[in-house]
Structure 1
Amino acid sequence: MRRTPLFDTAESVEEAFYDAMRRGDLPAMMSLWSSDDEVVCIHPGSARLTGLDAIRASWESIFSGGGVAVRTRDAVVQSSGVVSVHNLVEQVTITGRMGSQVVECVVTNVYAKTAAGWRIVLHHGSPAAEVEPSAPAGAVLH
């Protein structure tokens, strides 16, 4: 039986989030989310998903092709004792018939301190302003 990790900082949850994304590890990814029914995930260019079931289904679909090649940069963090808001840039490498390209997304991750430690309550990704190169048509970034 997999133990739910106890994270003592929002930064440690964020590190685990991107690690799970890179590895395509659905159980690890879902262990990071708050158990609150109002959790929200918006993947770049996709609809708003509310609730753990919808979020799990989306990550399961994304991870069906393996992990996501993602790096982060330029984090801006605003924290209080119980909420931490992180805005950053994700650089997602997409490999296809035409080779590889890096697509940037602007992301906001919100973490809440719960009885079970810090957990994700919102992940919202949007394609960055159009700068060459852009994502291939139909590409799922995450």
Structure 2
Amino acid sequence: MLSTHRAFYDAVETGDVDLMSSLWVDDVHTSCVHPGAEPLRGTDAVLRSWTLLMANVGYIQFFLTDVEVNTMPPGAEEPDTAVVTCTENILSGEGVESVDAFSGGKAVCTSILVRDRSSGPWKFWSRHASPVIDIDPEAPEEP
């Protein structure tokens, strides 16, 4: 399932709509919550959002940390559900003035991946990402 999880980020980084489409369960109950946005429901809406995002982002790269996987049923030899949490450390060329400049951000993400009982490929069922706000403890307080 981690190869499917990594393929998701590869799809975003390269703008590969076909790869992104292959990674999601085709169902009206799939869901995705982008940072700061309302939930999207259904594979068509989810894929449309990723297609728009990928078409409008020039350079983006994800460095994943704190990756943790829990499978269900717990201890099963052939689990059919996995919950993957991670921190996305994001490097982007969006919103910067210079061609040689980059900006960064951080989000925490929870993804639920499923597969059918016949050991089919892992696919995304749900994904939720929330921004992490870095607060500088040395910064002066605003009035």
TM-score range, shorter chain: 0.7 to 0.9
2:32–2:126 Cα contact (<8 Å) kept:
yes
Q: Considering only CA atoms, is the larger Rg found in Structure 1 or Structure 2?
A: 2
2:61–2:91 Cα contact (<8 Å) kept:
yes
For the pair 1:33 / 2:31, whether they are aligned, the reply is no
Q: Which runs of 5+ in 1 are unaligned?
A: 1-9, 133-142
- Larger RCO: Structure 1 or Structure 2 (Cα < 8 Å, ≥ 6 residues apart)? 1
Q: In the aligned structure 2, how far is the partner of 1:103 from the partner of 1:12?
A: 24
- Aligned-pair identity in percent equals 28
Alignment of 1:1-142 (within 5 A): 10-65=1-56, 66=58, 68-80=60-72, 81-95=79-93, 96-97=96-97, 99-114=101-116, 116-131=120-135
Seen in structure 2, the aligned counterparts of structure 1 residues 12 and 105 have a Cα distance that, compared at 3 Å, is same
Q: In the aligned structure 2, how far is the partner of 1:100 from the partner of 1:13?
A: 27
Q: In the aligned structure 2, how far is the partner of 1:109 from the partner of 1:56?
A: 15
3-state SS, counterpart of residue 7 of structure 2: helix
Q: In the aligned structure 2, how far is the partner of 1:60 from the partner of 1:18?
A: 13
If the length of structure 2 is used for normalisation, what is the TM-score? 0.78
Q: Which moved more, 1:113-122 or 1:82-91?
A: 113-122
If the length of structure 1 is used for normalisation, what is the TM-score? 0.79
Aligned-residue offset at 1:67: 5.5
Q: Which runs of 5+ in 2 are unaligned?
A: 73-78, 137-143
3-state SS, counterpart of residue 57 of structure 1: helix
Q: Which one has the bigger strand percentage?
A: 1
Provide the residue aligned with 1:6 in structure 2.
none
Task: Say how many residue pairs are matched.
Answer: 123
Aligned-residue offset at 1:120: 0.4
3-state SS, counterpart of residue 102 of structure 2: strand
Aligned-residue offset at 1:12: 1.5
| TM-align CA RMSD | 1.7
